[in-house]
Amino acid sequence: MSINPEINLQEFTHPSISQNNGDYWFYERSDSFPGQTFGLKINKILYHTKSPYQDILIFESSNYGNVLVLNGIIQCTERDEFVYQELITHLPIMSHPQPKKVLVIGGGDCGVIRELVKHVRLGTVETIKMIEIDDMVINLSKKYLPQMSKFADDESVEIIIEDGFKFLKDNKEKFDIIITDSSDPEGPAEEFFQVNYFKLLKNSLNDDGIVIMQSSENIWLNLPYIKNLMDKGKTVFSNLEYTQCYMPSYTAGQLGLIIASNKDYDLTKPLRTIEDENKWFKYYSSKIHESSFILPTWADNHLH
C-alpha cells in the first residue's frame, strides 16, 4: 500500500471539511442525524483515498489525536476509541461462561481485536477470526492508529478479507461470541441491520452463544429506529437487550449496542469478573457492565 505524500490542507478539498476564521474543521453530517453536526479542528490531513468500498479520510485533530473517517462518519479517534471498543467486546465476553471462539464482523481498525487478545492473555478466549471487506482500513490503521491495531498480527488472530454478509451465508463453523463492528447502515452495510442478518448470526452461533452489534443510532437521535431494530432482533433471539456507552466523538455523545442470545443469561450483569480490572480496562468494569443498561425513563419506556 502506497502512502499519500504530505497533503497541503489549504489546497485539499473534501465535502466534510470547511474553513472557519483561518482554521480548518471537519464536520460530520448525515441524514441519520439531521439538523446537527459534530466538528473537530484539523491540524493536518494524514491520508485520503477512495477504496472500492468507501471514502477513507484520516486526519490529525487538535484535541482528539488521529481520526478515522469512513464515508464522512467518524469511526474512531485516538482520544476516546477505547470506550466503544471495550464495551462492545467485554460485555459479551464477560456474560458468557466459556467464550473460547470469537468471530468479529468488520472492525478493520482492529480495536476489538486488541480487546479480545486481553482475554487470550487471561486464558479465556482461544481463537479470534475477523472478517473485514476492506483491507485498506486494516493497513491504514496499522500506520496511523498503532495503539488500536497492535495485536492485528497476534497468533490467536485470523483475518479474512471478505464481505461479512457473504461469509456468514457460506459459514459452517460455530462461535461462542459474534461481534458485529460494522459501519452505519448505508450502502453495503445496510444488510447488517435486517432480520436476515440476525438469522445468519444465529446460524453461526453455538446454542449458548452471544451476539452484539452497534445499533447505529443512540436514544437522542432516532429512538423509533432503535425500537424497530430491537423488534427485528427479537424475532430471532429470545433474550435481547439495549446498552449504551458515552463518548464525545460520536454524534450526540452516545452510541447504542444490541446484545442478544437464545440462552437465558442475565446479560445486564457480568457472569464472570476478573481481578485487577484497572490493569486490563480503561472504561469497562463490572459496575459499568450493569450501569450501561440503565436508560432514562422516557427511552426505557419506549424501548420496553
User: Mind telling me the catalytic residues?
Assistant: 181
* Rounded Cα gap, residues 226 and 114, in angstroms: 28
Interaxial angle between packed helices 195-203 and 223-234, expressed in degrees from 0 to 180 and rounded to the nearest 10: 40
Burial of 278 (0-12, 13-18, 19+ CB in 10 A): exposed
Q: Which set of grid coordinates corresponds to residue 240?
A: 435481547
C-alpha grid cell for residue 41?
479542528
Amino acid at 273: T
Cell of 226: 432503535
Task: Please give the radius of gyration of the chain, using alpha carbons only, rounded to the nearest integer.
Answer: 19
Q: Which amino acid is at 15?
A: P
Laid out side by side, the sheet with 38-50 consists of: 17-20, 23-28, 38-50, 55-61, 66-70, 73-77
What DSSP letter does each residue of 9-64 carry, written as one string? TTT---TTEEEETTEEEEEE--TTSTT--EEEEEEEEEEEEE-SS-EEEEEEESSS
Whole-angstrom distance, CA of residue 94 vs CA of residue 237? 19
- With cell 492485528, the residue in question is 152
Q: What are phi and psi for residue 105, nearest 5 degrees?
A: -100, 120
Report the C-alpha gap between 57 and 46 in whole angstroms: 8
Q: Cell 496499522 belongs to which residue?
A: 142
